[in-house]
Chain A
Amino acid sequence: MLQLVTAVIQPHRLETVKEALTEAGVAGMTVTEASGFGRQGSHTETYRGAEYEVDFIPKVKIEVLCTDDDAARITDTIAAAAGSGGIGDGKIWSTPVSSAVRIRTGERGLEAV
């Protein structure tokens, strides 16, 4: 019925992804600053001559609530807009959502999207 599409992307791709999603007709999204690592792992930097591990790299997390029918299209749109071909471009996944409410009107389910 409903799906939550979650994407963790490079912060500098946010603007492109937002524009692509808006063009694809997506009416809303939630954006959170995030940090983490994937396959690229951590790397070492020095601070005042002492080494330290940079484990968590800054990312942006985008969440879009949508209907089952739209989920695949939204995932593809994000993937196309967020990809640079380089390491650390991020990931997209979607999860089933059991309920949703629009706070202002009290609409539920598909109506709330």
Chain B
Amino acid sequence: MKRKLIVGSVLSAVLVLVLASPAMAQEDPSYATQFVLDNLWIFMAGILVFFMQAGFALVEAGLTRSKNVSNIMMKNLMDMSAGVLAFAIIGFGIGFGGDQLLGGWFGFDLGIAGVEDTVADGLLPSTFFFFQAAFAATAATIVSGAMAERTKFKSYFVYSFFITALIYPVVLRWTWGGGWLAQLEFPFSDFAGSTIVHGTGGWAALMGALILGPRIGRYTKSGKPRAIPGHSIPFVVLGALILFIGWFGFNPGSELAADEFVMPIALKTLLAAAAGAITAMAINWTKDGKPDVSIAANGLLAGLVAVTAPVGAVETWAAVLIGAIGGAIVVFSVGFFDRLKIDDPVGAISVHGVVGTWGTLSIALFARYDDAFLGRENAGLFYGGGLDQFWTQLIFVVVHFVFVTAAAGALFLALKKTIGLRVSEEEEIAGLDVLEHGSPGYGHDPGIPGAGPIGGARTPVPDRS
């Protein structure tokens, strides 16, 4: 895994020269072929990661009520659109551009300038940006589900800009951008972003759900959790399976090259997902008497999130175990946040925040191979690596948690004090679709042949005939 993406400025300068010289590529056909394959594969992987947006949209829509379905779809559409632009203009430059400032805690270049100047080994700047933008959009969209059914759209839209312009990019700078966590004696490892991407989304989701408070009716007067079932389990499962497919861009694509490590990473991703789904189902079945479909879907995603960080460093059997433990954690974590009255309708905090942390820490136990971050083999405790890597991973997840919760908390509190974070009680009860967006997600067409528009519309349409 020699091609991982820490962007050294010296390396960049050399590669810019190489890429700027087409004659050289022509002289060495094998280099040209590899160059095309690398760029094409990472482009395809980026498309798969963008496809995950559809998965998130469906999972979140399915786990919430039909009166809010337009709103959740709109949030997914806009956090990607706002996120990609904000990342292009500001975020990418903070993540990857310019020199390491303040000992690798910060750096900056204008976003698009950063895109044009930055070259990861073997990749066109535009390939690298496309792939990174898909990851930024993923981090942003995780939050919408946890804040579903009660957040003002305007505030959510503003949030989308800030997380991809500032919060996620600072995390990038520290890590994949070559900052302080990459410069430690035993550098951090997070292959495809259990903490960097999923943890950032998950902990921002925690602050969002905490500051908003639970949905009306989610807890009885005595404080007992009350279920608010979502409106479409087929959406949930279809969404989870789309995410599962997208993950084969997310993890194997993070190799950032078309090389011999891609398929082993894909295999470990596949097995961890399956193990997560089955473990979550088994535990939930034993605990509650019936296998809940959406918990099993959360388990599949938990297996994927868990293996995202260690996928380059661990053996296949370890990936299965890590995914299975991820699936187990998610069941208890969903119940835990429920009891704390942190209302997360889709389980985003558990799947992405809690399980992302587990995946990141699992490297300290199971790392056998050098994933291009670790810089050495057998770094895991079970391979005689001692606790060196554990301390780095612990510092990584703790500092990341403190930063993201503080930054996202400040952002949501500022939004609460200014434009307001939560819709009115009347709007929450009526549903956000009509009052936030003007029309319901379902039901304009009453589904009765011959019935006019008035039958199903909430607002009568005047007859103009």
Contact residues of A with B, CB < 8 Å? 45-52
Which residues between 288 and 327 of chain B lie within 8 Å of chain A, taking CB atoms? 288-290, 292, 294-295
Minimum CB–CB distance for A46 against chain B, Å:
5
- In the complex, what residues of B have CB within 8 A of residue A52's CB? 226-227, 229
**A50 vs B338: C-alpha distance when bound (angstroms):** 8
A50 touches B292 (CB 8 A): no
- In the complex, what residues of A have CB within 8 A of residue B295's CB? 48-49
Give the number of A-B contacts (CB < 8 Å). Answer: 36
**A65 vs B383: C-alpha distance when bound (angstroms):** 81
Minimum CB–CB distance for A57 against chain B, Å:
15
B274 on interface, CB distance cutoff 8 Å? no
Interface CB pairs A-B, < 8 A, 22: A45-B290, A46-B227, A46-B288, A46-B289, A46-B290, A47-B294, A48-B227, A48-B292, A48-B338, A49-B284, A49-B287, A49-B288, A49-B292, A49-B295, A49-B334, A49-B338, A50-B226, A50-B338, A51-B225, A51-B226, A51-B227, A52-B226
**A48 vs B227: C-alpha distance when bound (angstroms):** 8
Additional A-B contact list (18), CB under 8 Å, known A49-B287, A50-B225, A50-B226: A46-B227, A46-B288, A46-B290, A47-B292, A47-B294, A48-B292, A48-B295, A48-B334, A48-B347, A49-B288, A49-B292, A49-B295, A49-B331, A49-B338, A50-B338, A51-B225, A51-B226, A51-B227
The 7 A-B pairs of least Cβ separation, nearest first, read A47-B227, A52-B227, A50-B227, A50-B225, A46-B288, A49-B335, A47-B229
Which residues between 195 and 239 of chain B lie within 8 Å of chain A, taking CB atoms? 225-227, 229
B294 touches A48 (CB 8 A): yes
- In the complex, what residues of B have CB within 8 A of residue A51's CB? 225-227
Residue in B292, B331, B347 whose CB lies within 8 Å of A46: B292
Interface size band for B: 10 to 19
Q: Which of A46, A47, A52 has the most CB of B within 10 A?
A: A47
Nearest to A51 among chain B residues (CB) is B227
**A52 vs B229: C-alpha distance when bound (angstroms):** 9
**A45 vs B290: C-alpha distance when bound (angstroms):** 9
Minimum CB–CB distance for B212 against chain A, Å:
18
- In the complex, what residues of B have CB within 8 A of residue A46's CB? 227, 288-290, 292
**A47 vs B284: C-alpha distance when bound (angstroms):** 11
Nearest to B219 among chain A residues (CB) is A50
**A50 vs B289: C-alpha distance when bound (angstroms):** 12
**A45 vs B334: C-alpha distance when bound (angstroms):** 17
**A52 vs B288: C-alpha distance when bound (angstroms):** 12
Nearest to B229 among chain A residues (CB) is A47
Minimum CB–CB distance for B331 against chain A, Å:
7
- In the complex, what residues of B have CB within 8 A of residue A49's CB? 284, 287-288, 292, 295, 331, 334-335, 338
Which residues between 320 and 349 of chain B lie within 8 Å of chain A, taking CB atoms? 331, 334-335, 338, 347
**A46 vs B347: C-alpha distance when bound (angstroms):** 16
**A45 vs B294: C-alpha distance when bound (angstroms):** 14
Nearest to A46 among chain B residues (CB) is B288
Minimum CB–CB distance for A75 against chain B, Å:
30
Nearest to B331 among chain A residues (CB) is A49
Minimum CB–CB distance for A56 against chain B, Å:
13
